[in-house]
Structure 1
Amino acid sequence: MNRFRPGIAPTLVVLALLPLFVSLGLWQLSRGEEKRVMLAHYAERRTAPAISAERLPATADPAYRRVQLRGTFDPEHSLLLDNSTREGRVGVELIQPFHDQVSGLWLMVNRGWLPWPDRRTPPVFDTPAQPLNLDAWVYVSPGATFQLHPDAQGDAWPKLVTAVDLSKVWPILGHDGFVHELRLEPGPAAYRVDWPVVAMGPEKHLGYAVQWFAMATALLGLYLYLGWSHAKGDKNNKNKENTHGNGHESNQHV
């Protein structure tokens, strides 16, 4: 039988890369399952009846819950969430403090996306002054921190931000507000509100997992092929040497 002889260098490469490829594939499968559960959770919450704002602080898991609001916006302290695009167009999301008159609770409401084609001029938006009845849903941030652009420091408003952590925003405004962002549903005061629930769907994670597992399989197959090829080559060389040696001995006898 041919001995399996892949060589030291290919063995080291396989030992380094094969576990990595397999672990990346498993991680993609795990992320895909997380996204699937998240989307199912979102769909269930979005079809459930809306709750009042006064129930939010006591709600253990507020993510994606629909909420009914009644109150007014604070037009003096707007946040412009940067790095947001729609169909290739650059823009920002307009986030404003909202005082719910029924519960007395302060909330940060995302009114949606609006275009900002020219960075030399501020984005154009208006804020209704009258009390409004609004429908919104709770968006739980994945844990980004509050970051101001360098030119947004100081007392000037609106402030351009790259991420929002409301536990750091409310002390700046002097309010003890709700710690999660609310996103408007289509209706009064809403701009473009077609947010994706997840940036990458479960099917993409599955596709990436298949790619990693395919790379692992190809690597292992190549490793086996090289090992048996080297063994076969060594055997052929040995047979040639034996044949040459036997032939040389025969010539000496003659």
Structure 2
Amino acid sequence: MIEPVEPARRWPLIPTLLVLAAVAVMVALGIWQLQRKSEKEALIALFQRNMAMSSMVAYPEMPPVPDAMLYRKSSVVCLEPVRWDPRSGTDRKGKSGIRMVADCRTGAEGPGVLVDVGIGDDFAPPKWTGGTVQGTVVPGPEQPTVMERMTGKAVPARAMLVADMPVAGLRASAVPSADDTPNNHLAYAFQWFFFALVALIIYILAVRRRLQP
């Protein structure tokens, strides 16, 4: 009696195409992260040049803030602090404390300006009614989240002026450096390439196991 011959098992076409498409997307994301790495390195170099400049620039009251104005010296007239936003921070000697960020009124209309007037030991705002503040323009603390950027709901962030001289009763805040700008794109690129490789290996092993008699 002739035993029936089992039909040859074929490599699954549609699942393979889906996996290859997913792998292609992950590789493309890795390449995009490498491109972002080069862009971020150029941006950090610009910030470093800005920090070396001693000339003053007009304070960028309206967002978005041009990159060429970040980490430059500027001054602003705070007519009145309308709101205080205490945040954790450090002074220029590395001692931790509460950073006093004032949302200042500069005229009858407009978004106002954010001014870091110094570091305190508690959340009590200083007895400061405003005045001329000179300091360094840095990215403000109200930066959009990754999810907001992805969904297109990101609102342009305001800059912040870190005062050179703190107001009475406070310590001078540490000025953020251009070197603090995150540049993790190389690690992200390797992650995407790794995910693509792992997905491909797992799929090949799974299909080979399925095709075995």
TM-score normalized with structure 1 length? 0.51
CA-CA distance at 1:65 after TM superposition: 5.1
- How do residues 64-213 of structure 1 correspond to structure 2 at under 5 angstroms? 64=70, 66-69=72-75, 71=77, 73-75=79-81, 77-80=82-85, 85-86=88-89, 94-97=101-104, 108-111=113-116, 123-128=123-128, 131-132=131-132, 134-137=134-137, 139=139, 144=144, 180-189=158-167, 192-195=173-176, 201-202=182-183, 204-213=184-193
Supply the RMSD in Å over aligned alpha carbons.
4.8
Kindly name which structure, 1 or 2, has the bigger radius of gyration based on alpha carbons.
1
CA distance in 1 between partners of 2:27 and 2:175 (Å): 36
Unaligned runs of 5+ in 2: 1-7, 91-95, 146-153
- Superposed CA deviations along residues 78-113 of structure 1, whole A, max 9, x for unmatched, are 2427xx5559x996751332659xxxxx96142167
* In the alignment, structure 1 residue 23 sits paired with structure 2 residue 28: yes
CA distance in 2 between partners of 1:215 and 1:223 (Å): 12
CA contact (8 A) 2:116 2:161 kept: yes
CA distance in 2 between partners of 1:26 and 1:36 (Å): 16
CA contact (8 A) 2:102 2:115 kept: yes
Letter in 2 for 1:51: M
CA distance in 1 between partners of 2:186 and 2:201 (Å): 22
The 1:135–1:86 alpha-carbon spacing in structure 2 relative to 1, beyond 3 Å, is closer
CA-CA distance at 1:32 after TM superposition: 2.6
- Superposed CA deviations along residues 172-207 of structure 1, whole A, max 9, x for unmatched, are xxxxxxxx53321542336534447588722x2211
CA contact (8 A) 1:6 1:223 kept: no
- How do residues 28-67 of structure 1 correspond to structure 2 at under 5 angstroms? 28-53=33-58, 62-64=68-70, 66-67=72-73
3-state SS of the aligned residue for 2:202? helix
Letter in 2 for 1:187: M
Letter in 1 for 2:101: L
CA contact (8 A) 2:137 2:161 kept: yes
- Superposed CA deviations along residues 36-64 of structure 1, whole A, max 9, x for unmatched, are 2221111111111222538999x976531
Aligned counterpart, 1:247: none
Structure with the largest fraction of helix: 1
Unaligned runs of 5+ in 1: 101-105, 118-122, 146-162, 167-179, 235-254
How many residues were matched structurally?
186
3-state SS of the aligned residue for 2:69? coil
CA distance in 1 between partners of 2:27 and 2:121 (Å): 43
